[in-house]
Amino acid sequence: MTGLYKHFAFLVASIAFIVSFLYKYIVYFEINFEYIVKDFILFIVVYIVSKIIFGYIEDIFNTYRKLL
């Protein structure tokens, strides 16, 4: 399971980006450049935070498997 957390982090960040982008498109009916920039910054922040969290979770699982 080495490195699998990066894929999960990318999946979570992509879903957050798509949901945020679609919500703004449905509510405002038009897309400005600043909406895209804000969503891209959201994507980067969610990706970094979820990568760190999922990395810690993977380390916990690997340590638990070593103990068994």
Q: What is the pLDDT of residues 43-52, one digit of tens each?
A: 999 999 999 9
Q: What is the pLDDT of residues 5-33, one digit of tens each?
A: 788 888 889 999 999 888 888 887 777 88
Helix (H, G, I), strand (E, B) or coil at 1: coil
DSSP result, 9-64 = HHHHHHHHHHHHHHHHHHHHSS--HHHHHHHHHHHHHHHHHHHHHHHHHHHHHHHH
CA separation for the pair 63, 68 (Å, rounded): 9
At residue 21, the pLDDT reads 85
Q: Report pTM.
A: 0.79
Q: What is the mean pLDDT of residues 52-66?
A: 89
